[in-house]
Structure 1
């Protein structure tokens, strides 16, 4: 049975202020990126980079969403995180997987990400991830943001890992602001469920609470 919640209420979240930015970035998968991963588009007119990198991680009890804002030189300008109990997903019939969490992140930061270029990091995606990928696409379309989903998987070789980490560490050291999201709107959970678990949604409620 779905948790009974007020769609316009909020769920209080924990803080990650005591954790170093490099530790948080490693959990977020940012240290696995290379400079070329930050390129959104390259053509005869020049190179366009992503504005944001969105990712997630989980523990046995918690889920964490991360949002890194990149400046024009692809340095990390600000870094946001949102920590919430893992059982919150089950209570709201949201699948426990990377693509569902990315969808939740898009909707959580929808005002920030509207019209932006977003790189979404996931550990894995395969032929069985169609529903999850469609949910990410629908959320991005609603926000009118351009996005790509990058599967990080396992790094290839120690040398490659060291080069990537060194490059991203320098970019992370330029970070000026860290923010902890204090509350997760219940409406965001509901909107996410409508996209990632359409067979479990309540049709009337989904019509009453559109993704906007």
Structure 2
């Protein structure tokens, strides 16, 4: 269980999720002669600091047609799930996020933000590809690069964000709804484990076609 903490502001949550490490141009899914198409969602995660308990947090940010934050959702992944065999790397948790929010993000465009891509990512990338394909999700994985902090900040929030994030800050402040997922579906956990380790449950993996 997470220790009770004061409710965070949307700015603090956005900073935790990595939204201040991107800008509006990172949200461009496709640009053509017909115009610009943006990602509908940004999915990310981070490890909980000791002051907030243990485990990890998953974040799902929904942007509207004007690329302003519309809905922000979070889910806490308790440490017990990792001790029970759920992989902890960021890419693996992207697959879990897709399966948790599958009904929300189906047939949409999702930008997956990860903090590192160390090690062999072949199977995690394959798992993510199969999960997104099943729910007709167009996705891209981007590694977060922390922005250079400014020398001083005139923000009323007391943050020391880079000037690069000022435009994103205004978009985030327009958030209309914040929600927390209280329970992670057991099916999402089973399917994530199977996709990340196909030999552990090959029959279940048959439900996710190989792209």
**Which residue of structure 2 aligns with residue 202 of structure 1?**
201
Aligned runs of 1:1-212 on 2, under 5 Å? 18-59=7-48, 61-91=54-84, 93-126=85-118, 128-155=120-147, 157-158=148-149, 162-199=162-199, 201-204=200-203, 206=204, 210=207
Q: Is the 8 A contact 2:195 2:205 kept in 1?
A: no
The structure, 1 or 2, with the larger RCO (C-alpha pairs under 8 Å, 6+ apart) is 1
User: Which deviates more from structure 2 when the two are superposed, residues 161-170 or residues 66-75?
Assistant: 161-170
Deviation readout 1:134-192 (Å, 9 max, x if unpaired): 1111111011110100111343x335x61332121111100010001111111110011
- In structure 1, runs of 5+ residues without a counterpart are 1-11
**Cα distance in 1, alignment partners of residues 3 and 126 from structure 2:** 30
Q: Decide whether aligned partners of structure 1 residues 13 and 51 sit closer, same or farther in structure 2, where only a CA change above 3 A counts.
A: farther
Deviation readout 1:110-139 (Å, 9 max, x if unpaired): 001110000000012156111111111111
**Cα distance in 2, alignment partners of residues 14 and 72 from structure 1:** 36
Residue 202 of structure 1, CA deviation: 3.1
**Cα distance in 1, alignment partners of residues 145 and 120 from structure 2:** 16
Aligned residues, how many?
Answer: 196
**Cα distance in 2, alignment partners of residues 138 and 100 from structure 1:** 12
Structure-1-length-normalised TM-score = 0.84
Q: Decide whether aligned partners of structure 1 residues 103 and 15 sit closer, same or farther in structure 2, where only a CA change above 3 A counts.
A: farther
**Which residue of structure 2 aligns with residue 4 of structure 1?**
none
Q: Is the 8 A contact 2:27 2:38 kept in 1?
A: yes
Structure-2-length-normalised TM-score = 0.84
